[in-house]
Amino acid sequence: MSRETASADKPLTILHVDMDAFYAAVEVRDHPELRGKPVIVGGPSRSRGVVSSATYEARKFGVRSAMPSAQAARLCPQGVFMPVRMERYLEVSREVMRIFRSFTPLVEPLSLDEAFLDVAGAERLFGDGPAIGRKIKERIRAELGLVASVGVSYVKYLAKLASDLEKPDGFVIIRPEDVERRLPPLPISRLWGVGPKTESRLQALGLRTIGDVRAAGEERLVRELGDFGAHISRLARGEDDRHVEPSWDAKSIGAERTFERDLSALASMERELLEIAEDVGSRLRAEAVAARTVQIKVRFHDFRTITRSRTLERPTDITREIFDVARDLLQEKAGVKGARVRLLGIQGQNLAPPGTGQGTLFGEKSRAKERRLDKVIDALRHKMGHDAVVRARTREESR
Ligand SMILES: [Mg+2]
C-alpha cells in the first residue's frame, strides 16, 4: 500500500486546540505590566487557596496548577498572585469557541480553554487540517492576543497528544506514518485517561512507556485490566474510533472553596454554600445552560472527600434552586454534623438548555421572581465586581 492510499482513509481532519496557561495568560493580557513576570492565578498565598493557572515564567520555578498557593509562594517568592476572575475567563472562552465555530460546527469543548474540532467538511473553504490549525492559531493571536497550542491528526487521541507535545505555542501534526516513531518512547502518562493512579498500576506491571504497552500485547492487558486494558492498547497503537461530538458547552460547571479555617458550624457551611451556588448559577446563566444534576463536594479536615448529587426533574440555572438542593444534600447526605470541613464545592452537571423538562421545585411565579433577582445580581456583579453583591442567606435573615 502506498503512503497516499494509507493516508487517504486517515485524513488529517481532527484538531485539538488548547490555550496555553489560559487564566494566567488572560491576566497578563489584561494587565500588560505583568508581561514576562511569574504570574500565579489562584487563592492568596497566605491562605489555603490553590493555584488555578500559572504563566510559564512561574512554571520554571516548579509552580503547577492544583498546587497549594502557599507551596507555590515558597517555590517562587517573586510570584505575582492574581485572584481568579472566572467571569472574565468565561467571556474570553466564548470568544475562543466563536473562532473555532467559524471554521466548523463540529466543535467539542473539553473545558473552557480546549476543544476538539472535526474540520472534514471545512477543507474546501479553508484548506486542509494543518492549514486550518495554523489559521486558528493566527486568529487567536491576532484577535485575542493569546497563544494556543494546536495538534492535528486523524483521530482524537493523537490530536490531543499532539497539542501537548510542544507546549507552549506548539503546532504538531501526527500523520499515520509518524505513529511508529513518536509514540513508543513516550511515558504511559501520555495515554489519554491514564492518571497517577492508573500510572502506578501500570508501572507495577512493568510498563513505563507507550512502547512497553504495545509490547505487552492486548491479550495480557485485557487479562490484567479488563476493558481498560483493551482501550489503552488501542491508544498505544494510535487507534481511537471516538467521534468529535459537538456540544455547546463543557460537561459541567462548578465552583469550590477551600477555607482559611475548617468550618464546623452548619450555618457557616450554608453561608459559604450560598455564595458558591451564586457563582455556579451566574456561570450557568452566562453560558445559557441549566443543570439537570446538582452535585456537592465536601472535603473534611483529614482530606477525606465525598460527593453527593441529586438529579432534578427540571434543569435549573436559578441560584436559589441550586442552593436549596445543595443545602439538602449537605444536611441530609454529607454527614457534616460534628465534622470539620475544609472545602465545599457545587457542580452543575448534565447540562441542558434552560427551560426544558417537566415539574419544578418552585411554582412558576416564584421561579420568575428568583429569575429576576438573579438577573439583577448578575448585572450588578458585572458592573461592580464579583464580591460587590452578597445575597441574604434566607428570606428570614433578609428582613
Ligand atoms: Mg490549556
Question: What is the full DSSP assignment across 141-208?
Answer: HHHHS--EEEEEESSHHHHHHHHHHT-SS-EEE--GGGHHHHSTTSBGGGSTT--HHHHHHHHHTT--
Task: Give the per-residue pLDDT at 354.
Answer: 67
Task: Give the per-residue pLDDT at 213.
Answer: 97
> What is the distance in A from the centroid of ligand 1 to the CA of 141?
15
Examine the pLDDT at 97 and tell me if it is beyond 60: yes
Domain with CATH 3.30.70.270 in the chain: 1-176
Task: Place 390 in a pLDDT band, splitting at 50, 70 and 90.
Answer: low
Domain with CATH 3.30.1490.100 in the chain: 252-398
Task: Give the per-residue pLDDT at 388.
Answer: 57
Task: Give the per-residue pLDDT at 48.
Answer: 77
> What is the distance in A from the centroid of ligand 1 to the CA of 174?
19
Residue 77: all three cell numbers together:
517568592
Domain with CATH 1.10.150.20 in the chain: 183-236
Overall average pLDDT of the 239-262 stretch: 82
Examine the pLDDT at 91 and tell me if it is beyond 50: yes
Given CATH 3.90.70.10, say whether it is the number of domain 183-236: no
Rounded to whole angstroms, the Cα distance separating 49 from 35 reads 23
> What is the distance in A from the centroid of ligand 1 to the CA of 114?
6
- 1-176: which CATH architecture? 2-Layer Sandwich (3.30)
Q: Which of 4-8, 242-246, 279-283, 329-333 has the lowest mean pLDDT?
A: 4-8
User: What are 347's strand-pairing partners?
Assistant: 254, 295
- Residue bearing cell 492510499: 5
Spatial CB neighbours of 372, under 8 Å, sequence gap ≥ 6: none
pTM: 0.64
- Residues with Cβ–ion distance below 5 A, ligand 1: 18-19, 22, 113
Query: Could you report the per-residue pLDDT of 251-276, keeping only the tens digit for each?
Result: 788 898 888 889 999 999 999 999 99
Task: Give the per-residue pLDDT at 395.
Answer: 41
The one catalytic residue among 108, 114, 256, 321: 114
Overall average pLDDT of the 15-21 stretch: 98
> What is the distance in A from the centroid of ligand 1 to the CA of 109?
12
Overall average pLDDT of the 100-104 stretch: 89
Examine the pLDDT at 396 and tell me if it is beyond 90: no
> What is the distance in A from the centroid of ligand 1 to the CA of 170?
12
110 versus 392: which is more confidently predicted? 110
Examine the pLDDT at 279 and tell me if it is beyond 80: yes
Query: Could you report the per-residue pLDDT of 38-72, keeping only the tens digit for each?
Result: 999 998 877 778 899 999 999 999 999 889 999 99
Please report which helix (H) or strand (E) contains residue 252, including its range.
strand 252-263
> What is the distance in A from the centroid of ligand 1 to the CA of 113?
5
Phi, psi of 178 (to 5 degrees): -85, -15
Instruction: Yes or no: say if 121 and 104 are a contact pair by the CB < 8 Å rule.
Output: yes
Judge whether 114 counts as a catalytic residue: yes
> What is the distance in A from the centroid of ligand 1 to the CA of 8?
31
CATH superfamily placement of domain 252-398: DNA polymerase, Y-family, little finger domain (3.30.1490.100)
Examine the pLDDT at 399 and tell me if it is beyond 60: no
Task: Give the per-residue pLDDT at 26.
Answer: 97
CA angle 41/383/45 to nearest 5° reads 20
Task: Place 157 in a pLDDT band, splitting at 50, 70 and 90.
Answer: very high
Instruction: Yes or no: say if 108 and 245 are a contact pair by the CB < 8 Å rule.
Output: yes
